[in-house]
Amino acid sequence: MPMTLVEKIIAAKVGHEVCPGQLVMVPVDQVFAHDLSGPLAISQLKALGFSGFKHPEKVRFFLDHASPSSTVASANEQKTIRDFALQSGVELIDVGEGISHQVVMERYAKPGEIIIGGDSHTCTGGAVAALATGVGSTDVAIAMYLCRTWLKVPETMRFVIKGQLPRGVYSKDVMLHIVGKIGAGGATYRSMEFVGSAIDSWGLPDRAVLPNMAVEAGGKCGLCPSDAKTKEYLTAQGRPQDYSPLAGDNNAPCQFEMTVDAATLEPQIALPHTVDRVVGVTDKLARGIKVHQIYLGTCTNGRIEDFRIISNILKGHKIAKGTRLVATPASRRVYLEGLKEGVWTSIIEAGGLVNSPGCGACPGIQTGILGSGENCLSTMNRNFKGRMGNPEAFIYLASPATCAASALTGVITDPREVL
């Protein structure tokens, strides 16, 4: 029987065919928590009478949200995690290594795995065809303890993305367009499967934007096929042995199918305060809006490929007076690559600043919290009221190119005007 990609992954784990809506208990290949979800998971483990992990090699803790710690409270929570990781013998990825989702994709995620994380953007792992999904801290604790979890087999929504991206349009614009069309709840507890000629041509950094933002439409996970591009990426990360081909069947029944012709899109903007409030950059609701801060990075667009686009636009120019620019690489690997290539030099010489790897201002904890009444244009994945630490501020979402172009003018600007 033809199966979608999520059905194939689950069926391989449980040893029999599955169907949407079925409840299954599945083995977990990897499970992680970070400095916000980790302390509660640890307390739950201790409440269970924790005496050690059966599979410590599958468990990891990341310190990425307050990286480095910004308050006494966050410092103490991180100390709790460090002490517990040392005691239990599990891997700790400490401050400065980067955002959990990016580091998992770089170092650990493999096609066909089931990955559980204590953060909603765990779904980023779907870029390598892993069923990666976020759960609450209690479920994380149970998954760490048992290396098993329960799932309801999700229905599949298939997104066929065809055509070549026009100049100035990127995968972020495609995903904003999709979320704008189906709505913030349009994929609730469904698997968003991304296929088509455009996907076939994109590398993993471009693909990763789509599963990363699946949760912004309510998705349980987002999945891309594992193919030659996946092999190329895993080889570049130094782990070609982790590659295996994996894709859904084209004729597998799905709950919904949508075709997107990438060639017809213009740069997209998500307006405050919901991700699905999307318009084209030329729309009167977006064009010319004053921008007080440009925030670049996060697990959505914090890869070296994103910063190359930004650097090329900013090189030899200065950001507009009255606009500040903050860049935060998603991992230490990205940070080091940017150093070697001079990417950070272009950003700093243009008047911007560069943070150490981590989540930075995205969750509203540090390094770029907004003032009341200020507008921020960002490459992040969420623009909820108060997301960056101030409910009286306004967040607009866009691609790295749109953000960089807008930094030069001080207002939301079509990147095609400066490319």
What's the average model confidence in pLDDT over 108-123? 98
Q: How do residues 198-248 score in pLDDT, each as one tens digit?
A: 999 999 999 999 999 999 999 999 999 999 999 999 999 999 999 999 999
Residue 257: band (very low, low, confident or very high) from pLDDT cuts 50, 70, 90: very high
* CATH number among 1.10.10.60, 2.60.40.10, 3.40.50.1220, 3.30.499.10, domain 5-261: 3.30.499.10
In this model, does residue 249 exceed pLDDT 90? yes
Residue 367: band (very low, low, confident or very high) from pLDDT cuts 50, 70, 90: confident
What is the C-alpha to C-alpha distance for residues 41 and 151, in angstroms, rounded to an integer?
19
Instruction: Reply yes or no on domain 268-417 having CATH 3.60.15.10.
Output: no
Which residue, 372, 348, 376, 374, is CA-closest to 360? 376
Residue 174: band (very low, low, confident or very high) from pLDDT cuts 50, 70, 90: very high
* Cα-based distances in Å from 327 to 158, 178, 291, 294, 404: 33, 26, 15, 8, 11
Residues 6+ apart with CB under 8 A from 69: 75, 78, 95
Contact 383, 275 (CB under 8 A): yes
What's the average model confidence in pLDDT over 354-383? 95
Q: How do residues 21-46 score in pLDDT, each as one tens digit?
A: 999 999 999 999 999 999 999 999 99
Residues of the chain with CATH 3.30.499.10: 5-261, 268-417
Mean per-residue pLDDT of the chain:
97
pTM of the predicted structure, to 2 decimals? 0.97
What is the C-alpha to C-alpha distance for residues 331 and 348, in angstroms, rounded to an integer?
19
Helices (H), 237-342: 298-301, 304-314, 332-341
Length of the chain counted residue by residue: 419
Percentage, residues of the chain above pLDDT 70: 100
Q: How do residues 97-107 score in pLDDT, each as one tens digit?
A: 999 999 999 99
In this model, does residue 114 exceed pLDDT 90? yes
In this model, does residue 366 exceed pLDDT 90? no
In this model, does residue 365 exceed pLDDT 90? no
